[in-house]
Structure 1
Amino acid sequence: MPGAVILTLAGGFLFGALAGTVLAVAGATAGAVLVFLFARAIFGEKALDRFGERGRKLAEGIRRNAWSYLLVLRLVPLFPFFLVNLVPAFVGVRLTVYAVTTCLGILPATAVFALSGAGLGSVLDSGAPLELRSILTPQVLGALCGLAALSLAAIPLKNRFQRAE
């Protein structure tokens, strides 16, 4: 499991679903923005253009449709998270576009994981023995349904993303 998932589960467990979500989204967005700024400072806004015509075309497509691309890339895990943090810096995406799409794009999954952590917290607080029926509380089931819904929502988003190319 990626570290962010564990930290988000822990945030939901320690602070509840709402505060855990807010804190995790704020921390993840701030961290992503710092990586973005660092990459831009080191490599420059036109780094992808150095890869020839194909790199220039990709960079131009991302710049032209930055809102759509970045939201889809955050909502649908098509590419590793570190690439989604770095590539926008390499093509000259505006910082505000990057920060807003990062925040909005990670919000749904973060909320689901924080809700899961809060659900596990309520199970442990109950003092009941840890067995399947005590773990599958309405809160945990709601979080699992949320993950399923996010997975299903990814299908039309992925199709739209592929058509845009």
Structure 2
Amino acid sequence: MNLRKLILLVVIAALIASFFIFDLGQYLDLKNLKTQQEAFSEQVSANPWFIGGAYFFLYVLVTALSLPGAALMTLLGGALFGLFGGTLLVSFASTLGATLAMLISRFMLRDWVQAKFSKRLMGINQGVEREGASYLFALRLVPVFPFVLINLAMGLTKLPVRTFWWVSQLGMLPGTLVYVNAGRELGQLNSLAAAFFKVVVASTV
């Protein structure tokens, strides 16, 4: 492993470890978000640009590091910034974070995986080269398929970064809209499963 990969690995490991050591996941709990919603809304009213920027940065960080909590942050985006503002922030933050996660996977793992499983991956790479955009778009439209796995898996292929970006932006938009809209009713949601059910129902209508 070269020095650049080692440094990146140490930084990523430190960030992920900090998330769990300091139990930061407690702040991405539905019950906590509902309790703090009014206080958050007051902060948005007082400092909309600063809070919006902080939210965007945190969303990118969570998705880039493949940490749990993106779905709850999407709901929070709807609750705090409304349908238009929440969708705008989440759409670009989620796409940027997903692209960074894909690039981390590609930089850290692709050479090793391709060298070790080159014959097995040959067909996959050829399929991605032929139908990469449509294949990725189909995966993005299926809400039951974990986006974290899509990001990491695509990093192991030769899919161009620009293709990954625009397809992800478009493919994740319908689910983003439904989740953000559900977030506008954050106070009435009893569980993340209820929001997920809304997304699944909306995607099948």
**TM-score, normalised relative to structure 2:** 0.56
2:173 matched residue in structure 1:
107
Question: Given that residues 40 and 90 in structure 1 are in contact (C-alpha distance below 8 angstroms), is that contact kept between their aligned partners in structure 2?
Answer: yes
- Percent same amino acid among aligned pairs? 34
2:155 to 76, 89, 92: 89
2:88 matched residue in structure 1:
22
Q: How many residues of Structure 1 are paired with residues of Structure 2 in the alignment? A: 131
1:116 matched residue in structure 2:
182
2:102 counterpart of 1:36:
yes
The change in CA–CA distance for 1:3 and 1:104 in structure 2 (over 3 A counts) is: same
Cα deviation for residue 13 of structure 1 reads 0.5
| Gapped regions of structure 1 (runs ≥ 5) | 125-129, 131-142, 154-165
Q: Compute the RMSD of aligned alpha carbons.
A: 2.6
1:148 matched residue in structure 2:
201
The change in CA–CA distance for 1:80 and 1:65 in structure 2 (over 3 A counts) is: same
C-alpha separation between the residues in 2 aligned to 1:93 and 1:46? 17
3-state secondary structure, aligned to 1:91: coil
Cα deviation for residue 53 of structure 1 reads 2.8
Question: Given that residues 49 and 91 in structure 1 are in contact (C-alpha distance below 8 angstroms), is that contact kept between their aligned partners in structure 2?
Answer: no
Question: Given that residues 46 and 90 in structure 1 are in contact (C-alpha distance below 8 angstroms), is that contact kept between their aligned partners in structure 2?
Answer: no
The change in CA–CA distance for 1:36 and 1:116 in structure 2 (over 3 A counts) is: same
CA deviations on 1:21-50 (whole Å, 9 max, x unpaired) are: 111111111111111122222234684464
Q: Which has the higher contact order (CA 8 A, sep 6+)?
A: 1
**Further displaced range: 90-99 or 69-78:** 69-78
C-alpha separation between the residues in 1 aligned to 2:202 and 2:100? 30
The change in CA–CA distance for 1:34 and 1:40 in structure 2 (over 3 A counts) is: same
C-alpha separation between the residues in 2 aligned to 1:117 and 1:65? 34
1:140 matched residue in structure 2:
none
C-alpha separation between the residues in 1 aligned to 2:122 and 2:112? 9
| Gapped regions of structure 2 (runs ≥ 5) | 1-29, 31-67, 189-196
C-alpha separation between the residues in 2 aligned to 1:46 and 1:69? 24
1:163 matched residue in structure 2:
none
3-state secondary structure, aligned to 2:159: coil
C-alpha separation between the residues in 2 aligned to 1:45 and 1:148? 40
1:51 matched residue in structure 2:
117
Question: Given that residues 71 and 102 in structure 1 are in contact (C-alpha distance below 8 angstroms), is that contact kept between their aligned partners in structure 2?
Answer: yes
The change in CA–CA distance for 1:78 and 1:53 in structure 2 (over 3 A counts) is: farther
CA deviations on 1:121-144 (whole Å, 9 max, x unpaired) are: 6xx6xxxxx7xxxxxxxxxxxx94
3-state secondary structure, aligned to 1:87: helix
